[in-house]
């Protein structure tokens, strides 16, 4: 059995997180100085008790005057150190989180399509919301406590060594015990945290899927099923959260108990062997020793948060280490003719058994319109995905104006191709915002209305109260299916690219709208290379060439009339759709 690759250590994760300190180091140093001042005042307060007790015992007027003044000054300095340390460590931590969040989102934007194929949107959202949130908590609250209380323990222990190093060594006997507890508890908390991240991904995915498909849920009476799915996912998270709470809440009393035993031994030893010191020395020593349990307990309590943050950062860094789209091309062209040549093209999806595209050859001359038809899964959409380089083909060639597709810069390549997909994608913006999406310069109203008119969308947009400024809702939910499709077509027309891909572009239109939009598309495709994917063969009758695909192969190609006369697969598809009306169409 293959061994699972070991993940990064906690130290490696810390070091990688610290790499985000670039540009924030000054604030980090200032915060550390603030916490050092705060921690010194803790030890100073303990030492002040020595002079307070000695002043009472020996009636020292100087002590009685200066100790209250020193206490006030100490409180002021302590407050300044507390504010500076907390404010600037928060500034640093939030700056790191901002960098990570933006880097993660940017990575999503440049990730290849197969990255999204293997991950649900809910899981990806969970990483950027929940996981980053966990790192945020660990990087703000946890860091503040660890740095502040850590320095407090260091200076208090230093003071104890200064007062009596032999006694302090006795007190330090418990350090290995506490270290062992923290190590094993931390390991368990990190394991639970990883499972909680998966659980939150399931919750987010379930909620997003159910809410986005609410019409399907209601139409098929799936409310109960979806509620049960969500309840199950949430219960898993609750169970893991309780495990986390049980572990964390058990640590604090155990550590307190161990420290109390050490303090009890220390007190007995002081009463037995501390006779040569003044009462002030004894009180100061015990005060400093008594101040240590609180910061240790706070650091123990925060350990769970740190482990959650480390587990979350591990999953974030795994995502950031995923390969982005390979853009090794150097070729760019201001204008393209739109000539496409495909030679011996082969492609297999990751993890698939067989080839999705197998030795395909086809040619499209500038300004021609070709159609790709065939049963679902025959490879039609895959070809257009390869043209847009959503995936990279394994063998063969795709030439665009005689240049290998992979030699083009990605941005340049996609600038020359407009896509209208059967999966209509609109942003939660105005109609104007959706039509202007991806344009560097602002479009005039005249340009927008012209495109809407071509797409047969002008009439319904003008009837809207806010016209072009009408918000369409998430993915265009405030518009009908046909309206969304026409907005999508208008956007492609505005792009004015030399190559146009129509993937079931009229699928959401009724018969009358389809006829009108087809006229508009006939104009839009003039002098433009067009690839049409269609199940409704009525939309591709005038194509210059029709390619019929089956299981990744081109089984026949030609014009509509030629393919009908051949009596092959295309003729079979046509007869099924038109149910014996071939004679009228011919």
Q: What is the pLDDT of residues 80-103, one digit of tens each?
A: 998 998 898 888 888 888 888 888
What's the pLDDT at 80? 92
* Furthest CA-CA distance within the chain: 122
Residue 557 belongs to what H/E stretch? strand 553-558
Segments in 321-409 forming alpha helices (H): 380-387
CATH number of 10-320: 1.20.1560.10
382: pLDDT strictly greater than 80: yes
Task: Tell me the average pLDDT across 274-286.
Answer: 70
Angle at 301 between CA 296 and CA 305, to 5 degrees: 130
Task: Tell me the average pLDDT across 48-61.
Answer: 73
- Contact criterion met (CB below 8 Å) for 396 and 359: yes
Phi-psi map region of 389: left, alpha, beta (phi>0 left; psi -120 to 50 alpha): left
Integer Cα distance of 265 and 271 in angstroms: 10
pLDDT band at 30 (very low <50, low <70, confident <90, very high): very high
What's the pLDDT at 344? 93
- Contact criterion met (CB below 8 Å) for 17 and 53: no
b/e per residue 508-517 (b: at least 16 CB within 10 A): bbeeebbeeb
398: pLDDT strictly greater than 90: yes
Integer Cα distance of 294 and 152 in angstroms: 10
Distances (CA, A) of 287 to 56, 163, 415: 17, 12, 72
Integer Cα distance of 254 and 53 in angstroms: 33
- Contact criterion met (CB below 8 Å) for 513 and 352: no
10: pLDDT strictly greater than 90: no
Q: What is the pLDDT of residues 214-245, one digit of tens each?
A: 555 665 567 777 788 788 888 887 888 788 77
What's the pLDDT at 287? 80
Integer Cα distance of 204 and 497 in angstroms: 38
Tokens of 115: 């990255």
pLDDT band at 449 (very low <50, low <70, confident <90, very high): very high
Segments in 223-379 forming alpha helices (H): 223-273, 279-291, 293-320
Task: Tell me the average pLDDT across 459-475.
Answer: 87
For the chain, give the number of residues.
586
DSSP lists the bridge partners of residue 360 as 345
Segments in 274-324 forming alpha helices (H): 279-291, 293-320
pTM over 0.85: no
What's the pLDDT at 580? 45
The tally of CA atoms less than 13 A away on the side-chain side of residue 393 is 27
- Contact criterion met (CB below 8 Å) for 535 and 374: no
414: pLDDT strictly greater than 50: yes
pLDDT band at 4 (very low <50, low <70, confident <90, very high): very low
Domain ranges of the chain: 10-320
What's the pLDDT at 121? 78
Task: Tell me the average pLDDT across 501-511.
Answer: 70
Share of the chain above pLDDT 90, in %: 10
> 320: closest CA among 579, 108, 496, 21?
108
Give 3-state DSSP helix, strand, coil % of the chain, rounded to 5. 65, 10, 25
Q: Look up tokens 């155990």; give the residue.
A: 254
Q: What one-character DSSP code corresponds to residue 202?
A: H
Integer Cα distance of 501 and 492 in angstroms: 9
DSSP strand pairing (417-420 vs 499-503): parallel
Q: What is the pLDDT of residues 183-207, one digit of tens each?
A: 676 677 767 777 877 787 777 777 7
Contacts of 200 (CB under 8 A, 6+ apart): 126, 130, 131, 237
Coil, strand or helix: which one is 531? Answer: strand
What's the pLDDT at 586? 43
Q: How far is CA 328 from the centre of its chain?
A: 25
Backbone angles phi, psi at 509, to 5 degrees: -105, 145
Q: What is the pLDDT of residues 313-337, one digit of tens each?
A: 888 888 898 888 888 888 888 888 8
1: pLDDT strictly greater than 50: no
What's the pLDDT at 195? 80
> 18: closest CA among 32, 5, 9, 28?
28
What's the pLDDT at 3? 44
Q: What is the pLDDT of residues 567-580, one digit of tens each?
A: 888 888 888 877 54
Task: Tell me the average pLDDT across 344-356.
Answer: 86
> 127: closest CA among 320, 324, 316, 307?
316
Look at 145-149, 246-250, 289-293, 340-344 and tell me which has the smallest mean pLDDT. 246-250
């Amino acid at each position: 059995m293959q061994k699972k690759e070991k993940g990064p250590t906690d130290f490696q994760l810390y070091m990688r997180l610290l790499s985000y300190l670039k540009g924030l180091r000054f604030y980090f140093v200032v915060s550390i100085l603030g916490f050092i001042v705060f921690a010194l005042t803790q030890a100073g307060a303990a030492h002040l008790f020595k002079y307070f007790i000695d002043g009472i015992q020996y009636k020292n007027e100087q002590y009685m005057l200066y100790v209250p003044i020193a206490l006030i000054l100490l409180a002021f300095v302590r407050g300044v150190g507390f504010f500076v340390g907390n404010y600037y460590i928060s500034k640093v931590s939030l700056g790191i989180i901002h960098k990570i969040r933006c880097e993660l989102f940017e990575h999503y934007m440049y990730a290849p399509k197969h990255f999204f194929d293997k991950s649900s949107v809910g899981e990806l959202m969970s990483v950027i919301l929940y996981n980053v949130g966990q790192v945020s908590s660990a990087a703000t609250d946890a860091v503040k406590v660890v740095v502040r209380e850590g320095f407090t323990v260091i200076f208090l222990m230093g003071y104890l060594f200064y007062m009596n190093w032999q006694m302090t060594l006795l007190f330090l006997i418990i350090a290995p015990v506490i270290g062992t507890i923290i190590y094993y508890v931390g390991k368990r908390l990190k394991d639970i945290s990883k499972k909680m991240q998966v659980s939150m991904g399931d919750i987010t995915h379930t909620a997003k899927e159910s809410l986005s498909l609410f019409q399907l849920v209601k139409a098929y009476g799936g409310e109960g099923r979806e509620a049960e799915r969500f309840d199950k996912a949430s219960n898993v998270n609750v169970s893991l959260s309780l495990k986390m709470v049980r572990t964390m809440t058990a640590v604090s009393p155990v550590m307190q108990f161990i420290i109390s035993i050490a303090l009890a031994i220390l007190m007995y030893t002081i009463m037995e062997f501390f006779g040569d010191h003044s009462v002030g020395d004894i009180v100061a020593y015990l005060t400093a020793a008594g101040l240590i349990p609180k910061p240790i307990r706070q650091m123990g309590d925060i350990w769970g948060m740190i482990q959650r943050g480390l587990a979350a950062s591990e999953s974030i860094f795994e995502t950031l280490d995923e390969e982005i789209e390979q853009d090794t091309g150097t070729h760019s062209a201001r204008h393209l003719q739109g000539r496409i040549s495909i030679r011996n093209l082969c492609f297999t999806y990751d993890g698939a058994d067989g080839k999705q595209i197998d030795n395909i050859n086809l040619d499209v001359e500038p300004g021609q319109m070709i159609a790709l038809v065939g049963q679902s899964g025959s490879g039609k959409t895959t070809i257009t995905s390869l043209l847009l380089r959503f995936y990279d083909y394994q063998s063969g060639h795709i030439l665009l104006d005689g240049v290998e597709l992979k030699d083009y810069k990605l941005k340049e390549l996609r600038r020359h191709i407009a896509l209208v997909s059967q999966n209509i994608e609109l942003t939660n913006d105005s109609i104007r915002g959706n039509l202007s999406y991806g344009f560097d310069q602002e479009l005039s109203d005249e340009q927008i209305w012209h495109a809407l008119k071509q797409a047969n969308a002008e009439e319904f947009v003008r009837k809207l109260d806010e016209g072009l400024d009408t918000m369409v809702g998430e993915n265009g939910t405030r518009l009908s299916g046909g309206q969304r499709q026409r907005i999508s077509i208008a956007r492609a027309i505005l792009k004015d690219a030399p190559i146009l891909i129509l993937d079931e572009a009229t699928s959401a239109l009724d018969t009358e709208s389809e006829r009108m939009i087809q006229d508009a598309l006939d104009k839009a495709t003039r002098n433009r290379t067009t690839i049409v994917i269609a199940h409704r063969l009525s939309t591709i009758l005038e194509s210059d060439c029709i390619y019929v695909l089956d299981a990744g192969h081109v089984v026949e190609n030609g014009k509509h009339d030629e393919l009908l006369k051949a009596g092959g697969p295309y003729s079979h598809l046509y007869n099924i759709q038109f149910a014996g009306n071939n004679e009228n169409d011919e």
